[in-house]
A and B are shown apart, each in its own frame.
Chain A
């Protein structure tokens, strides 16, 4: 809606002399490029095309490199057998647990660190120390502690989500303009109101970026953990398929991972940012036309 009205005013306001309508192919392209399905899927057309071409020309032996057609067949097959939905549900459940705890801990710890100088002084060196220990490096000891369990995977995901998120919250709080805090105070806001009305929304652009980064890391950690801890899940499926030499499931796993992340972004993260930080003019949207 908003985009449409902006288009109209721009055309009306430009005051260009009337001229012959644009050629048919240009108008078709214009209409196509406004279609959201085309905007979402369009960029993948050449990628899939190239993939298909490489597979069809048999640049690599078909046992190592398969085309999109085989992946679709494999997808239907695993769907029919119920293997894929089961593994998918396992992976998503682990991610949900890990991300849920990770977000809660990361945001609370982040605000504590940002708002209290004492907490920050105490936590900062520890934060930097643990940031250097990669998530996967925890797996050996985590397996010793928790076994090949959901807890072990959750631990690793929480660990990966918490640190980037804490850093994002701290830098977000630091970016809140001091004048806005003063304005709120001089309009009668107490410290608690300033926190909820100014600090939290002011830090949101940075927090949104932190959530995106954190979940992205968490998603990768999940797959890595499943490969190593592996009893089920997408990562397990891929690694297990490699063991028996079934490349098609490896390819399928990669495609599924990409699509899932894209959906998470398109269905949850992007709409949230559109309704908040982009609406407030704090950051520019990816799909803004101007």
Chain B
């Protein structure tokens, strides 16, 4: 089953001052199967976050369609929970209050949603922090809570917008391993945006490599790494190094073309 289908997505912005048309997304098509982990990778400013925002329903496409579980996207909805780069937790809600937010919106009863909330908190390793407030957590813990808050509502696809970009390198490795463990345990459908090649290869089943602005799909790379994955085993795996090198090559080529185009 396909969970997410993106067909001929295009997005054009009009510059508010100059009135110029800026093409953010040229022509992007790909799909994500149910229970699959797909990353979107591209040079900075290539519009990969715009692709995610379109899937989330925050941004309307200029043309093309996005459908999730067979329904065309027309606005934000609980079938597409988002994990934000800056976590976007509600500061006035406790850890438990944050994790059950989506379930409350669904109208689930208190006892049931709190039991479910606690289950997901323990899945991400936050048991015992139910009564804390987000400002009392570390950056890594906040992002774990961000993941739990989305997973608790069991969305058709979880959207992650460079969730580990503002976290220190050591914690980031731990979070990536934990995310992989959770993915292997629960098999949610994940749509992950990043500019970190190692991260994309380590986490994903497939990587959609975008070209520079205006973005189009350059290549979809299959990652052939056995699961369960850990960093210790991945770095020694020849497949991991080969895939990283291949993706790196794709991005470097794109960059070279970009510079050539600039010179013209």
Residues of A within 8 A of B (CB): 177, 179-180, 182-190, 193, 197-198, 201-202, 204, 276, 279-282
Contact = CB atoms under 8 A, between A and B. Distances in A.
A204 B77 CA distance: 26
Contacts of B91: 280-282
Nearest to B80: A186
Q: Main SS of chain A's interface residues? A: helix
15 contacts: A179-B84, A182-B88, A183-B89, A185-B57, A186-B57, A186-B58, A186-B80, A186-B159, A187-B102, A187-B105, A187-B150, A188-B102, A188-B153, A204-B92, A280-B135
A188 B106 contact: yes
* Size class of the contact patch on chain B: 20 to 34
A186 B78 contact: yes
Contacts of B136: 281
B4 to A, nearest CB: 15
Nearest to A180: B88
A172 to B, nearest CB: 13
Nearest to A182: B58
Contacts of B134: 281
A279 B134 CA distance: 10
A185 B88 contact: no
Interface string B75-112: 11110111010101111100000000110011000000
Nearest to B97: A197
Given A182-B58, A183-B82, A188 B105 contact: yes
A197 B76 contact: no
B192 to A, nearest CB: 16
B56 interface: yes
Q: Main SS of chain B's interface residues? A: loop
B183 interface: no
B153 A280 contact: no
A201 B92 contact: yes
B129 interface: no
Interface in B28-86: 56-58, 75-78, 80-82, 84, 86
10 A-B pairs closest in CB distance? A281-B135, A188-B78, A188-B105, A187-B102, A185-B76, A201-B92, A183-B88, A179-B88, A186-B76, A280-B91
Contacts of B89: 183
Contacts of B105: 187-190, 193
B149 interface: yes
Contacts of B82: 182-183, 186
A204 B91 CA distance: 12
Contacts of A184: 90, 101
Contacts of B101: 184, 187, 189, 197
Given A179-B84, A280-B91, 17 more contacts: A179-B88, A180-B90, A182-B76, A182-B84, A184-B101, A185-B57, A185-B76, A186-B76, A186-B81, A186-B159, A187-B81, A188-B77, A193-B105, A276-B92, A280-B92, A281-B134, A282-B91
Contacts of A183: 82, 84, 88-90
Interface string B128-171: 00000111100000000000011001000001000000000000
A51 to B, nearest CB: 42
B75 to A, nearest CB: 8
B153 A179 contact: no
Given A188-B102, A188-B105, A188-B153, A197 B90 contact: yes
Contacts of A198: 90
Contacts of B159: 186
